[in-house]
Homo-oligomer: A and B are copies of this chain.
Amino acid sequence: MEKRNIYAKIPADLSNEVFEVLVQSKKVKIERIVSKGHTSPDTGWYDQEQNEWVIVLKGNADISFENGPVINLKEGEYINIPAYKRHKVINTSIIPETVWLAVHY
């Protein structure tokens, strides 16, 4: 059992978004995502089998929902995305990079 820091060890190479799994169990996956101007997915929509609770801890980002609004998430802001709710990330900050924490459940 060891502590770690969510803001530490930001990869030097952020040419791609970086996904790191912090916890993986049968029931839940917790991950850190670091974005830097990225949008995702490359084409189409995220259309996920699990619910996703996600918070922006650093930077900011815009998430677009199919037939829905664009939601801007600033530092500390979170949202709960139901399974199969189609969405995509249409903007993420570059300075600073965007640090997300996501809980898939």
The answer on a CB contact under 8 Å between A7 and B103 is no
Q: Pick from A12-20, A21-29, A36-44, A89-97 the stretch touching chain B.
A: A21-29
> Which residues of chain B have C-beta atoms less than 8 A from A4's C-beta?
77-79
The answer on a CB contact under 8 Å between A2 and B79 is yes
Nearest Cβ on chain B to A35's Cβ, whole angstroms: 17
The answer on a CB contact under 8 Å between B79 and A23 is no
The answer on a CB contact under 8 Å between A55 and B6 is yes
Given contacts A3-B73, A65-B1, A76-B5, contact A23 B53 (CB under 8 A): yes
The answer on a CB contact under 8 Å between B7 and A80 is no
Q: Residue of B at shortest CB range from A65?
A: B1
